[in-house]
Amino acid sequence: MKEKVLLGMSGGVDSSVSAVLLKEAGFEVIGCTMNLLDEPNEEAIKDAKKVCEKLGIEHHVFDCKKEFRCYVMDTFISEYENARTPNPCVECNQYLKFGMFYDKAKELGCKYIATGHYAKKEYSEKYKQYVLRKSSEEKKDQTYFLYTIPREKVEYIIFPLQDNVSKQDTRRLAEQNGLEIADKKDSQEICFIKDDDYQKFLKEHMKQQPKKGNIVLTTGEILGKHNGLINYTIGQRKGLGISYKEPLYVVALDMHKNQVIVGTEKQLYSSELEAIHLNWIIDVENALQKGLECFAKIRYRAKEAKAKVIKENEKIKVVFQEPQRAITKGQSVVFYDEDGIVLGGGKIK
């Protein structure tokens, strides 16, 4: 009897090719598209259905609008209201794709869930458990967004693209299998924000409109005015509308004083951060007591850097071997061992 797997299908190339690979591997595949928005993505649903029909597999549409609004969109708005910079994909993976979706799979009698993420799941003799590991496709690796997966669920997740060397390979497989979506463009960065205009989205949904305030130097000197904290990010240089004897960057956002604080590039660097809301895929409790030596990644596009992680009650302190540029509150910090295995992660405080 074939094992059943529930595959998340967005109508894109990655999840469609995942369906092909799962079927070739001998699974009984059920495709599912999550309806997340009030205005359904009819094109995504149609494309996913077409692929399922071609492959002869079931396709379901799950209504997840309420949960998506609560866990992803409302959190996104709240974080910006509190002068933090969120990562909605992390929330979506935690609560929707590897939370609600996993529960739906069990209801349908599926042993596994699968997604089109570029990541590896494998059994580790070193840790004596199933682990997440960085994808062979380094530029597309998405383990940074997956650190919230509960340890006990890792065994039941399949990443069909884990051995693909490049996105070109994935598109080639789509073409070889006659899938119409072979040349379909990758989806936009944040699925619920039209034209990537997040400031417009926030202004439409925030309880209070952003207020103007002062742009101040780290010394306290007022250099100009800002038009709302939501329009600025740590590390930003362009668009500040101020002049100074040397280049200045946003180094902090002070919600209580409603100030954008600017400084030199040197002031963007820091050797430490604190993190909360932790999830550990690997049991590192003993190592944390004396200081966990690992590699830490502070944003998706950043390189991992050598660091020591020290437990401090319900939070951790991360001390980097070399200062890191533009550490940003609200983003995630994710920890890896020397083999690219995800140890866990948390939210930068």
Phi, psi values for residue 213, rounded to 5°: -160, -170
Domain end among 247, 263, 279: 263
Whether 123 maps to a domain, the answer reads: no
Which tokens go with 185? 């463009």
Nearest to 236 by CA among 272, 210, 260, 218: 260
* Contact (Cβ atoms closer than 8 angstroms) between residue 215 and residue 259: yes
* 222 and 77 share one domain: no
Distance from C-alpha of 14 to C-alpha of 32, rounded to nearest angstrom: 14
Q: Please name the residue ranges forming H helices in 182-297.
A: 198-205, 285-290
Calculate ∠ Cα 135-67-302, nearest 5°.
30
Place of tokens 């690992």: 294
How many structural domains are present in the chain? 3
What SS3 class is residue 73? helix
* 274 and 256 share one domain: no
Nearest to 105 by CA among 2, 21, 8: 8
Whether 245 maps to a domain, the answer reads: yes
* 72 and 179 share one domain: yes
Output helix, strand, coil percentages for the chain, rounded to the nearest 5: 30, 30, 40
Nearest to 294 by CA among 348, 332, 334: 334
* 190 and 224 share one domain: no
Whether 275 maps to a domain, the answer reads: yes
What pLDDT does residue 181 have?
80
**Confidence (pTM):** 0.94
Q: Where residue 249 sits, what CATH number does that domain have?
A: 2.30.30.280
Domain end among 246, 263, 280: 263
Q: How far is CA 32 from the centre of its chain?
A: 20
What pLDDT does residue 228 have?
96
Place of tokens 């991992």: 304
What pLDDT does residue 234 have?
97
* 25 and 167 share one domain: yes
Distance from C-alpha of 281 to C-alpha of 152, rounded to nearest angstrom: 8
What pLDDT does residue 165 have?
64
What pLDDT does residue 107 have?
96
Phi, psi values for residue 116, rounded to 5°: -90, 20
Residue 90's identity, in one-letter code, is: V
Q: Where residue 83 sits, what CATH number does that domain have?
A: 3.40.50.620
The catalytic site residues sit at 92, 191
Length reported for the chain: 349
* 227 and 330 share one domain: no
What SS3 class is residue 231? helix
Give the structural domain span for 312.
Answer: 269-348
Q: What is the pLDDT along the chain (349 residues), one digit of tens a residue?
A: 799 999 999 999 999 999 999 999 999 999 999 999 988 888 999 999 999 999 999 999 999 999 999 999 999 999 999 999 999 999 999 999 999 999 999 999 999 999 999 999 999 999 999 999 999 878 889 999 999 999 999 999 999 999 876 778 889 888 888 888 888 887 767 899 988 899 999 999 999 999 999 999 999 999 999 999 999 999 999 999 999 999 999 999 999 999 999 999 999 999 999 999 999 999 999 999 899 999 999 999 999 999 999 999 889 999 999 999 999 999 999 999 999 999 999 999 9
Tell me the Ramachandran region of residue 210: left when phi exceeds 0, alpha when psi lies from -120 to 50, beta otherwise: beta
Q: How far is CA 253 from CA 83, 302, 329, in A?
A: 6, 21, 10
What pLDDT does residue 230 have?
96
